[in-house]
Structure 1
Amino acid sequence: EDMPVKSFCLVQDHCYYHGHVQDIKDSSVSVGICSGIRGFVRAKRSVYLIEPLAGSVDGDHAIYRHENLRSRRATCGNTNDTYYDHEPRVSRVYKASGWKSKPMVHEQRFVEMFLVVDNAEYRHYMRDMHVIKARMLEIANHVDKLYRPMNIRVMLVGLEIWSYMDMFDVSADPDDTLTRFIQWRKNTLLKNTKHDNAQFITGVDFQGDTVGLANKFAMCRDESGAVNQDHNENPFGVASTIAHEMGHNLGLSHDATYCDCRTSYLSKNCIMADRVGKNYPETFSSCSQEELKNFLEKINPQCLLDKPSPDKLYGGPVCGNAFLEPGEECDCGTVEECTNPCCNATTCRLTKGSRCAQGECCESCQFKQAGSLCRSPAHDCDLAEYCTGSRAECPSNAFKMNGLPCNHNQGYCYNGQCPTLEQHCEKLWGSGSSRSYSLTFDHMLLIVSIAPKNLTFQDIKCGKLFCTGGSEFPITRQKAILWVHGVQCNIVVDQSETEDMGMVPTGTKCDHNKVCYENVCQDVQLYATEGCSAKCHNHGVCNHQRQCHCDPGWAPPYCERKYSDTGKNTVVISVNMPSTSGLSNPLFRDANAKGNPCSRSADISQPTFVESTFTQPCTPLAVTVPCHPPPE
């Protein structure tokens, strides 16, 4: 009985739907009809819930208003509000990313979500596996619906139900439970099933009025996940909580009072409000939309660009779920929601005469001409992509080789980004922050003189980053303050055992033709990319994969022939250049070691350590003066 049992859910017919009420503007419907009808209908600012009537043998259903939704838990004080979380936990700051592709805000993203149900939840539903599976599918369907307007599809790729016993101690303290769940995910779940985000659903009543907790900025990382209390008999309650906590994983903060939430019909609050009343929100606020845009532009987590393998979707492939799967030529959703003239929604086949139904290189149901621009460069470390003339999809995103100058020679390209000190200060401290210029050359020389002999002046520029301005607290909610000649220098305090957010990021320029790598200022030639573009016949440049990225009108692999010379039915592909030894084009090779403590300069004050009152409880700080001054 103590051995895990794996089963596969094969759905014979599609029974989870999104849609609207015919002829009613701004209406919305989300229902499941697998076993009776269960879901919600919104029309003319009224919301109704429908579900099978308990105990009925004649298939009777109950329809009731949203404000009469039944809750499992008491509310806090004299309000009807329940808190999602008081503050999310910060996972870590992302390194400059983009090694597979560049950020494209309007490009559809996919979150491969894995649901884990604890034993308390299993027992709450009378150990009925069929009921629990149906409930989890309803929850996943509604989370997907909430994110679709943001051009994000949330796809359920796995469901694990702890019917025998919990795999770790599920505590009423949400912080402890999140820590244990993330550790279990790292050690067990990630090794068994590929997924981007894991959501834990528990029947345990969390302490206080909190029903969820998540790691912020954690999407696509080991810490990508959240814990959620199933606090309502209707599945939309926990679905709203999951959508909220997943928002934190995507870098979203709680809504402020100035955020525009006028499009929320169900509630005065949007999804990222810090609390929720009886009416569950349906939309993301203007603030959330802007934060998500920034997250996708600056961070661009790669896992969201990978479509899940169709055979990995929980429930199996289905025509009508707006997701292209094996055996389908197209999939524009259900018959009711499909508006694509190129696709037959009933058969998931292309209509007569159509060669494609969707994609950046599909126009009027036909492939665009070869060489047509399908993705513009987002910045000067990026490359444009062009249609091949034989596919509806734009080619995979590509970017320039590491080591090329960028941002008006303020930096060097590294993994599709142009990392700078100013940029990292803004990531840590928010808008208005910049690097500190208060520490002088003499300060650095003094620190070098008492530092290890193998540490050079340039190496100090790859150490701790000193910033001024910005928010009162950094993203870690903990800081150290040094006063230098009357000027306040801020330092991020990070208790992570794996990497220090406050260090100058890998790839940042530290001198002419030099970059920070493994916290040491090294020659830019360590990327070993010199001379690659010479093989592209002056009609292209080498990209990050050491392939020729050809100019418009020129065909890969070596950009020596024009598209017009390749023949109408010829398909051309690029090939890899011979690789070089050493540290050629490193991808996300982050240094783990933090700097050793050292004595402070007489010109620098003893640091003052401050911790935000909004952080989760943690161990007392024991921090010494950083031995790295600010980069010049």
Structure 2
Amino acid sequence: MRPGYRSARGSPALGLLLLLRLPWPVWGAEAFQGNTPGEPVILHWVLDGRPWRMVTLEQPVSKLEVGLVALKAEGQELLLELEKNHRLLAPGYTETHYSPDGQPVVLFPNHTDHCHYHGRVRGFLDSWVVLSICSGMRGLITLSSNTSYYVHPWPAGDSKDFLTHKIFRTEQLLSWKGACGYRDPGDKRDMASLSCDTQIRERRESLGSPRYLELYIVADHTLFLTQHRNLNHTKQRLLEVASYVDQILRTLDIQVALTGLEVWTEEDQSRVTPDANATLWAFLQWRQGLWARQPHDSAQLLTGRAFQGATVGLAPVEGMCRAESSGGVSTDHSELPIGAAATMAHEIGHSLGLSHDPDGCCVEAAAEQGGCVMAAATRHPFPRVFSACSRRQLRAFFRKGGGACLSNAPDSGLLVPRAYCGNGFVEEGEECDCGAGQECPDSCCLAHNCSLRAGAQCTHGDCCAHCLLKPAGAPCRRSAGDCDLPEFCTGASPYCPPDIYLLDGSPCARGRGYCRDGACPTLEHQCQQLWGPGSRPAPEACFQVVNSAGDAHGNCGQQGDSSFLPCAQSDAQCGKLQCQGGEQSALAPHMVPVDSTIPLGSRQVTCKGAFVLPGTHLDLPDLGLVESGTQCGPRMVCQERRCQNTTFRELDLCLTACHGHGTLRTLPEPNSHLEKPVPHGPACTPKVESKSQDPVSGEK
């Protein structure tokens, strides 16, 4: 192969994750126009024991905490047991929009004064209900995995007549077929050992301690326009989406607490284009400034734009709780908010380390019932359950220390004004809570009063076994790598202590990298992730020559939607990843290997890279690019495709406090997203300082 010549080799779609695609066009935001399916239905509140038809939705019930609603669907009388979802909005919840001069307007509404309810259908064990009564009653009524209804006011948007509604099966919406589009080689081996019986058993197992996702949702300017510039309608749609996401994630023992909504009423605050990848990374960069004014675990952008191709969502894998990647983007692609919610839950799943379900993995719901949330393609009716394979991956993600910020519960006294035995969450005055089932699956708990059985010390948690606390010193979380420290039980709590890791900037991988958010990004690891075991970084000359070209095969990012930027010599190691060895085909889907031959002294060397096939839009970052935070020189890391001098302020503080003999670990404060660096080691003093919100700051 002559110098400078590149060859592209075909690559089977083996790899890590594919795009989430919809095989239908994006819907307009005005729902239910034209010939809407369903039958008219009249809903009645049942209050104070009065007959069903004595109390209608016309009567004021905005302050109602719990209640019953009666209706008839397909000749069957249903009784909905509803409770206001007090956990939906977190303490300190905000709503933000922008004034005509572009200034943010931040409101602080009462986080318990809203009109969103959830519950179950009496007599249906696996049922669940998510309803809004803000203007009439609208929402989802699920009797089982194969029977669900949607109810809404009729005519659409008519808030004057609360008596008339329509109800229809979700299958009555238009339906297109889609399928899971990939198999990950590692997952294929692991998943093959799961029989159907094992999958069903795993679905019923607890994922351990409950976790809490403090979520921030943003509507872009296009979505605001599709809602006819109606701020209240836009906010209500976002609240409905959040309510559905909460219900979906509860199947993973994750509770959503919405910290804020934001509507870009004047213009987009970050760049939103048909390029999903560019939109994602622009939003994630904007999110870092957002975190400073409104701490949260994950931020999600909902756009009214259609992305190129059939892509409807994008998120970094295992990005949850990371400073640069804890977020995602989704399109509002459906008539019903549940459509956007299913996509958002899917992207949050990627952030939690979940890959797409391999073929045959989803046994919880048939395709015609919506399938599972982590299918590569989604459809009507929308998925509402996670597969056993997803739950298995989530356990592995938590076991290796991922998602540490989800362990910090918001102030339950503020989130939940009163305890409710039977809702599945342990609240003030309760020792345990079996949920709504007739039989308690927890042998340590008494279902009728939510208290521990005689002799029991605990019911669940990584430091609880057979209803007893594990002894102090028992390991409960292994080290996930060079930058993570193991955790041990205290003997006094059923929960594993907060995840602790070395402070950003600590050397790792024998000096080849710097710790960043508990991980150690190195070129070696990235080459092996893309090309498999045996792969290694190419010589520096490969980065210098190939990435100076400024084309699809070698670049330092894109300008606009098409043109590529050549790397400056000093930034060459922050552009396209250049490797040698490993497999012939890339382990990431839809990526084409590219060999470049360059002269190096008296010999020719091959530089191996990969680029995404044109027209392909992934719902994951391009694995062919060097990861942010990768070392590119002494005290220098890649940031925004540039090799930048980096000041590790907290690390320098530690070295001073510990006289150069200790290390600095991060320790989350209770009920807080802020972390405190805690020096430890033979010469450390007990000095404690607050950790900066920007874990790694670049000096340009």
Question: How would you bin the TM-score normalised by the shorter chain?
Answer: 0.5 to 0.7
2:287 corresponding residue in structure 1: 185
How many angstroms does 1:260 deviate by? 2.7
Q: Which amino acid aligns with 1:231?
A: H
Does the C-alpha gap of structure 1 residues 477 and 290 become closer, same or farther in structure 2, counting only changes over 3 Å?
farther
Q: Distance in 1 between matches of 2:496 and 2:374?
A: 33
Q: Distance in 2 between matches of 1:165 and 1:139?
A: 22
The reply to whether residue 224 of structure 1 matches residue 326 of structure 2 is: yes
Of 164, 167, 176, the residue aligned with 1:63 is 167
Q: Distance in 2 between matches of 1:294 and 1:507?
A: 32
> Higher strand proportion, which one?
2
- Greater shift after overlay, 207-216 or 195-204? 207-216
The reply to whether residue 39 of structure 1 matches residue 144 of structure 2 is: no
Does the C-alpha gap of structure 1 residues 395 and 500 become closer, same or farther in structure 2, counting only changes over 3 Å?
closer
How many angstroms does 1:114 deviate by? 0.6
Q: Which amino acid aligns with 2:167?
A: I
Q: Distance in 1 between matches of 2:153 and 2:506?
A: 66
Q: Distance in 1 between matches of 2:299 and 2:353?
A: 16
How many angstroms does 1:292 deviate by? 5.3
How many angstroms does 1:252 deviate by? 4.9
Q: Distance in 2 between matches of 1:406 and 1:350?
A: 45
Of 388, 402, 406, the residue aligned with 1:300 is 402
How many angstroms does 1:242 deviate by? 0.9
Q: Which amino acid aligns with 2:535?
A: S
Q: Distance in 2 between matches of 1:593 and 1:50?
A: 53
Q: TM-score, normalised by structure 2?
A: 0.53
Q: Distance in 2 between matches of 1:361 and 1:355?
A: 11
Q: Distance in 1 between matches of 2:495 and 2:149?
A: 40
**3-state secondary structure, aligned to 2:497:** coil
Of 490, 501, 509, the residue aligned with 2:608 is 490
Of 140, 146, 152, the residue aligned with 1:52 is 152
C-alpha distance after superposition, 1:15-72 (max 9, x if no partner): 6436688566xx45342365546213153x53321313325846455332222137xx
Identity %: 30
C-alpha distance after superposition, 1:491-513 (max 9, x if no partner): 589998994758599999xxxxx
Q: Is the 8 A contact 1:30 1:142 kept in 2?
A: no
1:80 corresponding residue in structure 2: 176
Q: Is the 8 A contact 2:534 2:582 kept in 1?
A: yes
How many angstroms does 1:4 deviate by? 0.7
The reply to whether residue 241 of structure 1 matches residue 343 of structure 2 is: yes
Q: Is the 8 A contact 1:109 1:151 kept in 2?
A: yes
Q: Is the 8 A contact 2:318 2:402 kept in 1?
A: no
2:586 corresponding residue in structure 1: 472
- Greater shift after overlay, 238-247 or 118-127? 118-127
The reply to whether residue 264 of structure 1 matches residue 365 of structure 2 is: yes
Q: Distance in 2 between matches of 1:280 and 1:126?
A: 26
Q: Which amino acid aligns with 2:169?
A: R
Q: Distance in 1 between matches of 2:474 and 2:122?
A: 39
Task: Tell me which of the two structures has the higher relative contact order, counting C-alpha pairs closer than 8 angstroms and 6 or more residues apart.
Answer: 2
Q: Distance in 2 between matches of 1:358 and 1:274?
A: 33
How many angstroms does 1:387 deviate by? 3.5
Q: Which amino acid aligns with 1:472?
A: A
Q: Distance in 2 between matches of 1:148 and 1:211?
A: 23
**3-state secondary structure, aligned to 2:292:** helix
Does the C-alpha gap of structure 1 residues 131 and 39 become closer, same or farther in structure 2, counting only changes over 3 Å?
farther
Q: Which amino acid aligns with 2:153?
A: L
Q: Distance in 2 between matches of 1:172 and 1:125?
A: 19
1:102-501 equivalent positions in 2, closer than 5 A: 109-118=211-220, 121-122=223-224, 133-162=235-264, 164-168=265-269, 173-175=274-276, 177-178=279-280, 180-187=282-289, 189-204=290-305, 209-216=310-317, 218-219=319-320, 220-250=322-352, 252=354, 258=359, 260-267=361-368, 270-284=372-386, 300-310=402-412, 319=420, 322=424, 327=428, 329-330=430-431, 332=433, 335-336=436-437, 356-362=458-464, 367-375=469-477, 385-398=487-500, 422-427=524-529, 429-435=530-536, 466-470=579-583, 471-472=585-586, 481-482=596-597, 488-490=606-608, 499=628, 501=630
How many angstroms does 1:142 deviate by? 2.4
Q: Distance in 2 between matches of 1:410 and 1:468?
A: 22
C-alpha distance after superposition, 1:229-251 (max 9, x if no partner): 32223221111111223334445
Q: Which amino acid aligns with 1:490?
A: K
Q: Which amino acid aligns with 2:302?
A: I
Q: Distance in 2 between matches of 1:277 and 1:412?
A: 43
Q: Distance in 2 between matches of 1:505 and 1:323?
A: 49
Does the C-alpha gap of structure 1 residues 527 and 507 become closer, same or farther in structure 2, counting only changes over 3 Å?
farther
Q: Is the 8 A contact 1:9 1:316 kept in 2?
A: no
Q: Is the 8 A contact 1:211 1:229 kept in 2?
A: yes
How many angstroms does 1:364 deviate by? 6.2
The reply to whether residue 579 of structure 1 matches residue 692 of structure 2 is: no
Q: Is the 8 A contact 2:212 2:255 kept in 1?
A: yes
Q: Distance in 2 between matches of 1:439 and 1:37?
A: 59
**3-state secondary structure, aligned to 2:433:** coil
1:499-518 equivalent positions in 2, closer than 5 A: 499=628, 501=630, 503=632
Q: Which amino acid aligns with 2:242?
A: A
Does the C-alpha gap of structure 1 residues 474 and 274 become closer, same or farther in structure 2, counting only changes over 3 Å?
closer
**3-state secondary structure, aligned to 1:4:** strand
The reply to whether residue 29 of structure 1 matches residue 128 of structure 2 is: yes
Q: Distance in 2 between matches of 1:396 and 1:181?
A: 29
Q: Distance in 1 between matches of 2:633 and 2:431?
A: 46
Q: Distance in 2 between matches of 1:171 and 1:85?
A: 27
Q: Is the 8 A contact 2:208 2:461 kept in 1?
A: no
Count of aligned pairs between the two proteins? 494
1:538 corresponding residue in structure 2: none
